[in-house]
Amino acid sequence: MTWDTVDLEWSGDIATVTVDRPEALNALNVETIEAMGEAIAEARTEEARVLVVRGAGDDAFIAGADIKYMKDLSTPEGQAWGELGHSVANALERFPAPTIAVVDGYAFGGGCEMAMACDIRVGSESALIGNTEIDLGIIPGWGGTQRLPRLVGEETAKRMIYLGQRLDAETAREEGLLGEVVPDDEIDDRVAELAAELAEKPAFALQAAKDAIAQGYSDIGGLDYEKRTFGGLFGTPDQREGMDAFVENREPDFE
């Protein structure tokens, strides 16, 4: 299958899904996130031994969900949008082989959430990452309220989410949001090396390890709660103001 804004490429048993919308810093609109879900499903059907997720261009992994699309959504539409993002994040989290997010550039909001749904996050020195949704009058709605505290601890996650922090790569590594940080011009080689090493490991044992680790984090209730809460924020004055401000390139003035 082929898509306009997502590519699926293979190097042996290693599949790479690239979000390819650089003119919008790889922000995820409906078409792109649906394509991302289909590409992940195809990599699963073709039994990839490792799945790499990256963004096209030098500037961004994924700059988040598409604010221009989201800004006028009603509550039910916001709910459906949340479900769509959750389904793709869950497909990454439950992918039966190791997954690597290549966090090279911006990874905000839904971009940070897609990275957190991967097993391993490799960042470049110039990466900026965070669950920045609060400044748009919404909350992390694609799993961030559950996955961020798991990675960085509850108090740190609350600081990051409440303040909408945009972390530089080194801070993100210190806090546990990025597993490692490498110079910008070395990230592709490092990811290729890591993926090749993982592809040589015993696949069934890797899958069993991944499943066993996931059992300890059975947070389905939390993810469902987040989905319901997120949709309810669409149509509020603060959501409208936060997203209008982004589109109009000004600071938001919340009620």
- Active-site annotation, residues: 113, 133
- Least Cβ distance, residue 21 to ligand CO8 (angstroms): 9
Q: 121: part of which helix (H) or strand (E)?
A: strand 120-124
Give yes or no for residue 27 binding ligand CO8 (CB under 6 A).
yes
Amino acid at 4: D
Give yes or no for residue 226 binding ligand CO8 (CB under 6 A).
no
Structure tokens that stand for 196 in this block: 């090749």
Give yes or no for residue 137 binding ligand CO8 (CB under 6 A).
no
Of 201 and 228, nearer to ligand CO8 (C-beta) is 228
Of 220 and 247, nearer to ligand CO8 (C-beta) is 247
Which three-class secondary structure state does DSSP give residue 95? coil
Give yes or no for residue 64 binding ligand CO8 (CB under 6 A).
yes
Amino acid at 86: H
Give yes or no for residue 177 binding ligand CO8 (CB under 6 A).
no
Burial of 18 (0-12, 13-18, 19+ CB in 10 A): buried
- Least Cβ distance, residue 158 to ligand CO8 (angstroms): 18
Distance of CA 59 to the CA centre of its chain: 16
Question: Among residues 55, 98, 110, 137, which is the contact residue for ligand CO8, using CB under 6 A?
Answer: 110
Give yes or no for residue 66 binding ligand CO8 (CB under 6 A).
yes
Stretch that binds ligand CO8, among 44-52, 104-112, 187-195, 202-210 (CB under 6 A): 104-112
Say how many C-beta atoms besides its own lie within 10 A of residue 219's C-beta: 17
Query: What is the 8-class DSSP label of residue 59?
Result: S
Question: Among residues 56, 65, 88, 181, which is the contact residue for ligand CO8, using CB under 6 A?
Answer: 65
Count CA within 13 A, CB hemisphere, residue 247.
13
Q: Kindly compute the dihedral angle of the four CA atoms of residues 140, 123, 17, 144, in this order, to the nearest 10 degrees.
A: -10
Question: Among residues 48, 67, 172, 198, which is the contact residue for ligand CO8, using CB under 6 A?
Answer: 67
Say how many C-beta atoms besides its own lie within 10 A of residue 25's C-beta: 20
- Least Cβ distance, residue 28 to ligand CO8 (angstroms): 7
Structure tokens that stand for 131 in this block: 């669950």
- Least Cβ distance, residue 3 to ligand CO8 (angstroms): 18
Q: Which residues bind ligand CO8 (CB under 6 A)?
A: 24-25, 27, 63-68, 78, 81-82, 85, 106, 108-110, 132-133, 136, 141-142, 230
